[in-house]
Amino acid sequence: MYPTLLLLHSFARWAVLILIVYSIYRAAAGLISNRPFAKTDNAFRHWTATAAHIQLMIGMLLYTQSPLVSSFWHHYRTAFHDLNLTFYGLIHSALMLAAIVLLTIGSAMAKRKPTDVEKFRTMLVWFSVALLIIFIAIPWPFSPLSGRPYLRTF
């Protein structure tokens, strides 16, 4: 089950990133052009949050199955000296959870704003902050915290 979850989590990250970036683009474009908040904008707001929640659920399942996380928690006093173990045991999950919480709050707030400008602005700010945190927390191949390939294959 672990390899399948890891593969799914790796591929789903791209869907989440594409949706967040495109939602931010739509929010910025809508704000700049002062256009109405359309059904399409609302759909991307909703599907971005939904995809992020699905990715979070996959990540939580992966967290319970991961040998790295298990090693971190069984040897946490010495594991803090290993950045790779600390990254997966604590940093990655905490940052991603924070990012999804911010994304969820932003989505809920944007949905309830009375004006189109406020909807776009709220979405732009909250989704952008969430994206920044996500970029920090992803184990990119060039990351100083822990590097993984762009796409995992097993």
Look at the chain and report how many structural domains it folds into. Answer: 1
d(CA 97, CA 25): 23
Q: Work out the end-to-end distance of the chain between its first and last CA atoms, rounded to an integer number of angstroms.
A: 12
Residue 149 forms part of a structural domain: no
Residue 16 forms part of a structural domain: yes
CA angle 53, 67, 139 (to 5 degrees): 55
Residue 147 forms part of a structural domain: no
Contact 146, 84 (CB under 8 A): yes
> What residues make up the domain containing 81?
2-137
pTM: 0.88
One-character DSSP codes across 13-43: HHHHHHHHHHHHHHHHHHHHHT----HHHHH
Residue 120 forms part of a structural domain: yes
User: In this prediction, what percent of the chain has a pLDDT beyond 90?
Assistant: 60
d(CA 154, CA 152): 7
Radius of gyration (Cα) for the chain, nearest Å?
A: 17
What's the token pair of residue 56? 């979070």
Residue 60 forms part of a structural domain: yes
What is the structure's pLDDT at 67?
83
Query: What does residue 151 show for φ and ψ, rounded to 5 degrees?
Result: -135, 125
Residue 152 forms part of a structural domain: no
pLDDT tens for each residue of 108-152: 999 999 999 999 999 999 999 999 999 999 887 777 667 675 666
Residue 146 forms part of a structural domain: no
Residue 82 forms part of a structural domain: yes
CATH number for the domain that contains residue 76: 1.20.120
